[in-house]
C-alpha cells in the first residue's frame, strides 16, 4: 500500500511509516505537528500490489513532523577564466522531515505501526533516564579521575628529579649550535 504525493514541486512515493524529507513546510494544526495532503496533492494511490491508479473520490495522506532543519552545505563556485572573477557562496536548504502515519481512500485506512516515541510521557521518561545515566557516569568518571591522581602522587617519591651530570651546562646556546649555510664567495654569484 502506497501513494504518490506532491510537495514542494517534487513527487514522493510514500507508504505508512515512511520518513521523508520535503521542502520546509509549517504544520497545518500549529503545535500538534500534523500535516495532511489532500486530493490535489495526492497524484496516485495503490491499494494492492501491482495496481496503481489516480485517486477516485476522497483521498487523504496524513503525516507528523519529525524534524525541521537545514541540509548539509553545498558550495556554489562561479569562475570566469582570464577575467580575475571568482565567487564562492554556500547554501543550506531548509527541510521538514515527515513520518507518514496514515493513507486513507475509498473507505479504507492504512495506518503506520504504532511507535512508542509518539507518546510524550514515554519520551519524557526516556529523557529522564538518559539524564540520570549521564549523571551516574559523570560521578563514576570523577571518582576514577581522583583515584588516578592519588596513584600518580603515591608512585613518585619526594625529590625524584633526575640528577644533573657534573659540569653540564643548563642549555647549550642556539647560536653556537647553528651551522653556516652560506655559499663560498659571499653568496653573490660568480665574479668575473
pLDDT in tens, 103-124: 988 888 888 887 765 555 666 6
Pair 64, 137 in one domain: no
Pair 128, 101 in one domain: no
The mean per-residue pLDDT over the stretch 55-65 comes to 88
Residue 189 lies in a domain: no
Pair 23, 111 in one domain: yes
In the chain, how many domains are there? Answer: 2
Pair 59, 103 in one domain: yes
Residue 22 lies in a domain: yes
- Cβ proximity of 3 and 14 under 8 Å: yes
Residue 184 lies in a domain: no
For residue 108, give its domain range: 2-116
- Among residues 95, 116, 137, the one where a domain terminates is 116
- Cβ proximity of 160 and 152 under 8 Å: no
Cell 569562475 locates to 79
Pair 19, 63 in one domain: yes
**Each residue's pLDDT tens digit, 112-163:** 887 765 555 666 677 777 777 777 777 666 666 666 665 665 565 655 556 5
Q: Is the pTM for the entire model greater than 0.75?
A: no
Q: Which of 91-95, 102-106, 172-176 has the highest mean pLDDT?
A: 91-95
Residue 128 lies in a domain: yes
- Between 84 and 154, whose confidence is greater? 84
Amino acid at each position: 500500500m502506497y501513494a504518490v504525493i506532491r510537495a514542494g514541486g517534487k513527487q514522493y512515493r510514500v507508504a505508512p511509516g515512511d520518513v521523508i524529507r520535503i521542502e520546509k513546510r509549517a504544520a497545518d494544526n500549529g503545535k500538534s505537528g500534523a500535516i495532511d495532503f489532500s486530493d490535489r496533492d495526492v497524484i496516485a494511490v495503490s491499494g494492492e500490489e501491482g495496481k496503481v491508479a489516480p485517486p477516485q473520490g476522497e483521498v487523504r495522506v496524513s503525516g507528523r513532523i519529525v524534524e525541521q532543519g537545514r541540509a548539509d552545505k553545498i558550495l556554489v563556485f562561479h569562475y570566469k577564466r582570464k577575467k580575475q572573477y571568482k565567487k564562492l557562496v554556500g547554501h543550506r536548504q531548509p527541510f521538514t522531515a515527515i513520518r507518514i502515519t496514515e493513507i486513507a481512500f475509498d473507505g479504507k485506512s492504512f495506518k503506520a505501526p504504532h511507535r512508542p516515541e509518539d507518546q510524550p510521557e514515554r519520551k519524557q521518561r526516556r529523557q529522564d533516564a538518559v539524564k540520570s545515566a549521564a549523571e551516574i557516569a559523570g560521578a563514576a568518571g570523577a571518582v576514577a579521575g581522583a583515584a588516578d591522581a592519588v596513584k600518580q602522587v603515591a608512585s613518585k617519591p619526594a625529590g625524584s628529579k633526575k640528577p644533573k651530570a657534573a659540569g653540564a651546562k643548563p642549555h647549550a646556546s642556539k647560536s653556537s649550535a647553528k651551522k653556516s649555510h652560506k655559499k663560498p664567495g659571499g653568496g653573490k654569484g660568480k665574479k668575473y
